[in-house]
Amino acid sequence: MSFIIIFATFLGMEFMAWCTHKFVMHGFLWNLHQDHHVPNKKSFFERNDVFFLIYAVPSWLCIMLGSMFALWWVMYIGFGILAYGIAYFLVHEVFIHQRFKWFKNSETVYLKAIRRAHKIHHKHIGKEKGECFGMLIVPWKYVKDELRKVKA
């Protein structure tokens, strides 16, 4: 049962992240997210990194309170949020933006599609006219494009 709760929370986080990215980051908290879209690398850190805390705090609270009060399902929700946070770090920060030079190249169609969709998202410097707000669920057209490249 614990794995099901963790996995369901992980999947739900993709939709939560999509909504937060589209309506909060590209909405009323654009001032925190904007530096992520502007190629200005004066510092390793970005104001956008504050969103890490916005997701880390609920995860930590669920794990801590769930274990303190024997609400195991709450703790498992916290672990699901944590798992998504780790995936976000590895996919978005390491693989896509290369903030750490660990996974430079990939010949995997799915990972190439993720990177392509994210590049499309970043082609818009402003907060309007955005597209591809998710991280792990990629529009099928980018997967098809990468499959065509493999077949060619």
User: Average of pLDDT values for 28-35?
Assistant: 93
Percent of the chain with pLDDT over 70: 98
Please give the Cα distance from 14 to 137 (Å, whole number): 8
Predicted pLDDT at 106: 80
Residues whose CB is less than 8 angstroms from the CB of residue 121 and which lie 6 or more positions away in sequence, other chains included: 130, 131, 132, 133
Q: Pick the range with the lowest mean pLDDT from 44-48, 63-67, 72-76, 100-104.
A: 100-104
Assess contact for 63 and 78: CB atoms under 8 A. yes
The model's pTM: 0.91
Domain ranges of the chain: 2-151
CA 108 to chain centre: 19
Please give the Cα distance from 30 to 143 (Å, whole number): 29
Mean pLDDT of the chain: 91
Percent of the chain with pLDDT over 90: 71
Assess contact for 106 and 32: CB atoms under 8 A. no
